[in-house]
Structure 1
Amino acid sequence: MTPEARPVTTPAGARRAALLTPGAGLYSARVAWRHSLRFRLALTYSALSAALLMLITLGVVSLLLSRMEQQFVDRLNDRADTLAEAFTNLGGGFGQSATGPSAYTLVVDPDGQVIAASPALREFQNSPYPFGTLSRVPVQGTTVRAVKRKAGDFGTLWVGLPEDDLIAARQSALSALLLALVTAPLILLLTGWWVGRRALAGLENAANLADRLDPAVSLAPLPLPAREDEVQRLLVAINSLLGRIEAQQAREKQLLGQIVHELGAPLTVLKASLSRAEARLADPEVARAALVADELTFTTQDLMQLARGQLELKLAWHYIPAGTLRDRLDRLVPGTTFTGDWGTGILCDPDRLTQALRNLLANGRRHAGADGTVTLDLRETPEQLCFRVRDSGPGLPPELGEQIFEPFVSGAGSSGLGLSVARQIARMHGGDLSGTNHPDGGALFTLTLPGAALGDDGDDLDDADVLDEPPLTPVGGTGI
């Protein structure tokens, strides 16, 4: 079928509708990481913490390296001063501080000749001074830093100290810094994720509670957490909004009920008058007006059911022959073809079930046209009764999907209530209603009801009555 009026949904609107649909799983399905507030908070926390940690670590390492450098220089200068003092004051123990495997000393006379050397530099003794103005020189595979002092009348004292320990310490500090810069952001991100999960657990629970709300079923207030924080304020605001929505729905239902009530009496009089005029005059125009009055009567019944809501409706259970239901529908929607097993019995509310099936048949007749066919097939299994309504129309628009069962989603000039009311009635009976396109063309609606499963003593009927012809109250509805 081709709808004449239906909601236009943009991609953003579709996403918003999906998020606002009860049970759509805003938070029941895990939010993608790139859309997660928890991830953004953890990432921000990690980035800021990593930057701060990097600055602090750089400062600490720089201070540590400078202290190590200063200690090395002080040690070298202290050794040089001690040796120079020994050369200046020959009674000060000359040579005692210049021994050992790490002692690097040279005594250079004013002519530039090495006149004394420590054991590690014995190769340079009695030869020209080899290092010139260099302060760092390689000696036997070791980098040695050196300073010079005046050695009294002997000339110049050259004192060196190996930098191996200092270089190793510097490399260790830089390696630790690099490791910290690589691992710290990951550790901080994981820690931030865990902290964010704990901190936002209340907000996630509030979102899950709000996501499970179904305004069509209940608008009960959400439970408040014991802790007075932003989450509690959010839930208080949601509860306040729910209260306003519930009050607005009550006013709308009351207004709708009053409108339907005011229309009911005039429509009943009009319908009776047109029926008498049709019988007396046999005028096609009067017959057409009588059909319009019938359609308006059915529409008011659908509006009344919508105003009452599913929870306010009570089913009057009866066990009726399926043939009785078929006769009713044949009178309400002439031209329907009935197939299947109509010799069985049905445990139902006859008026409500007639209303649901009449809506499906009228919907099919509207879209099949005067020359089309509408078929109602009944099949029974031990578990359920299955009513299948098929028409020869163009079929259901695939882009509407389940929206065809929402109120006021309409096509072909109807009120858009028929399918919504029919599904509501089916579910009130413990069954369901679904719609699809038949492989051979046309729309196919399947309404299922639980099987009666009657025992020999009739106990399974509970309070239901077995009637051959229960009274028929006005029923009705329209298609999409």
Structure 2
Amino acid sequence: MKRRMINSLLGVVLVVVAVFCVPLALIEKQSIVNAAHDRVDAAAVRVLGLVENRLAAGEPVTGEKFAAQVPEGSFVTVQIPGQAEIAAGRPVTGAAITATEEGANGESVTVVQSRADVDHEIGNMLLLLGVVALLAVQAAVALAVWQAKRLARPLTDLAETAERLGSGDPRPRDRRYGVPELDRIAEVLDVSAERIARMLTAERRLAADASHQLRTPLTALSMRLEEITALAEEPDTVKEEASIALQQVERLTDVVQRLLTNQRDPTSPTAVAFDLDEVIKQQVEEWGPSMRESGRRLSIEGLRGTAVLGTPGTVAQVLATLIENSLMHGAGNITLRIRRTGSSVVAEVQDEGQGVPPELGNRVFERAVSGRNSTGIGLAVARDLAEADGGRLELLSLRPPVFALFLNGSQAR
């Protein structure tokens, strides 16, 4: 797209340069030639006037008398009836401009000027136009490159946002670019991200709650059917029907168990082994501008090249929520520390602020609970996402505040 934009703008500039410069060059050339003819005609008129004045006064006409009236580099000849031809200047060879004037008594003056000076002036004019056209083309190329980057960068950013949205990381980025059409697309993507995040959270919560609530009555129903089978007095009828019902209950119990497992087990189809460094690198790049604006710093400590099992988009969303929470409610520099404990990999986010009030404690993960007049939803959603992805989110320390995301380690590197 960048190349097409550059070629399009450059093509327009070349057409404009051709449309304006070519006619301008022709007009200027003709103007220079006409001015040269006018100068030669004027010189011939001046010499003729001088000749007529001397003839009227009865004075002799010589070349020295009118040589001063002739432009430099010109050749003048004067023909007077009954006298020899009078010449002044050096004869001109090659292309020349000629002007002839005749007097009332038959005298005539011819002025010949070389075209070398005219051609030189035309060459200078064409050179100047060429330089101007070249500067215009260079300016057009620079403008096209700048404009292409200005428009391509937001499109690339929007494509990355859409890709993240499809990979399970529905976090709005709240970025605008100063272009109404692109800002509209970014706004729609942000609204869609928020809607998808709410839908995913609601669906996961509903699936987990439904699976958990269904498992208990199914277990009780299964036990009652087993008792009916054991106490039935008519084996041929009751036992047979009870056995069939028990099989159906066991099948339904298995379905519910799989639903619950898919909500908790990181080996679900959406879970993959990935490098945690890539997610951390993404967070550093994403939060870098905000950190610089607030005069704070995000530092990374601990392990490198750690592989974990889960959904990259979900892990990125949880870490982003923790960093945003420290940026909004904490103070000082923020530290993202990676360590391993047993088979789990722990990502800790810590800042240098006052920490979490003691009266809140682990209630910070409850919905609508906040100590800083915020919505109290971010940490609750982050904890739900972590648990749905097979991990867990905990508050390890109140002061300094340390939030820890426990992830399942992987042997894949």
Under a length normalisation based on structure 2, what TM-score does the superposition of the two structures give? 0.49
Structure with higher helix content: 2
TM-score normalised by length of structure 1: 0.43
Query: Which structure ranks higher in relative contact order (CA pairs < 8 Å, sequence separation ≥ 6)?
Result: 1
